[in-house]
Amino acid sequence: MKRIVIILCLLIAAFDVCGQELTVKSMEVAPMDLSASTQPRNDRNGNPCALVKVLMVDGLDRVEGNVIGDVEDRGTEKWVYLSAGTKMMKIVPKNHLPLMIMFGDYGIKKVESKVTYVLTLLLPSSPHDRQAGNSTDEFEGKTPREMAQIAEDYCLGNNGRPKDYDLGVKWARKAAEQGDADAQCRLALCYCLGQGVAQDYMEAIKWFRMSGEQIPGNAYAQCMLGLYYLTGSGVPQDFEESVKWLNRSVNQGNTMARYYLGECYYNGWGVSQDRTRAKDLWKTAAAQGNQDAKKSLSQYFNE
């Protein structure tokens, strides 16, 4: 009898969750997110689509509406390309009731070509959460800087938080979308390394650029952009553009950028060859502990 009661309780709990809809927390334009332009998809008439990034934890069965091509599953992000002018779509999760979303309910009359939107869905609260009155908005009251620090804590396992890249990405994305340069850099690094998201170098470059272009910008992001242009990874090789970003990073004291800028001066990549300048850069980088700079000094200057 006890076993039957337990099974019934589990079935009721499962029905309680599966018989509910997800809820829409927000749908908004992401003006700093250029994914719809950098990773475009055209509709059947050859016109560029809008991109809706659906943020959800639950599995997705399908999306109905003016969807162009397959939905891209990127972990907690589902990328849905829609024909420009679309006013609604239907989300069909695997474990919850279907959800019809009218864009006009969120101040968006229709989606526009080459524009990225972010749709955030929340799981239904459990009976325990509803009884306890727990808030589902964990971001409420937190500044972008505070959210960026929480993201760092999850990615590094600091300040009592377990190392959890999925949570790190979630917090970093929220802060990054609100313009925090450090969070944009962390999100870029997660895309670069495939931590908490599918590895995507174009997304990494996009977020590194957003971070580096700020004033003064994130020094590590600027260094990474310098390296991408130096090696031609994900972007056309451009030594002058590389030097520009490395200089910006060096001006903020980044040691790795100082080493690679020395390489540019030593070899005349993007600048007039100046081995005295290269030596000075490497000396400073070596004093800061950069091993590559120490090797270059030893190899080229017997120091």
Q: Does 57 have pLDDT greater than 90?
A: no
Distances (CA, A) of 276 to 171, 239, 254, 285, 290: 44, 19, 20, 14, 18
∠ CA 282-286-289, rounded to 5°: 145
pLDDT of residue 138: 81
Residue 16 pLDDT more than 50? no
Instruction: Pick 139 or 18 by higher pLDDT.
Output: 139
* Confidence check: pLDDT of 19 > 80: no
Sign of torsion over alpha carbons 193, 196, 199, 201:
negative
* pTM > 0.95: yes or no: no
Residue whose token pair is 């679309």? 86
Q: What pLDDT is stored for residue 303 in this prediction?
A: 72
| pLDDT at residue 146, rounded to an integer | 94
Judged by average pLDDT, the poorest of 98-107, 159-168, 248-257 is 98-107
Average pLDDT over residues 90-100: 82
Domain ranges of the chain: 22-122, 144-301
C-alpha to C-alpha distance for 13 and 259, rounded to whole angstroms:
59
Task: Tell me if the domain spanning 144-301 has CATH number 3.50.50.60.
Answer: no
Percentage of the chain modeled with pLDDT above 90: 58
More confident residue, 258 or 95: 258
Whether 94 and 59 have beta carbons less than 8 Å apart is answered as yes
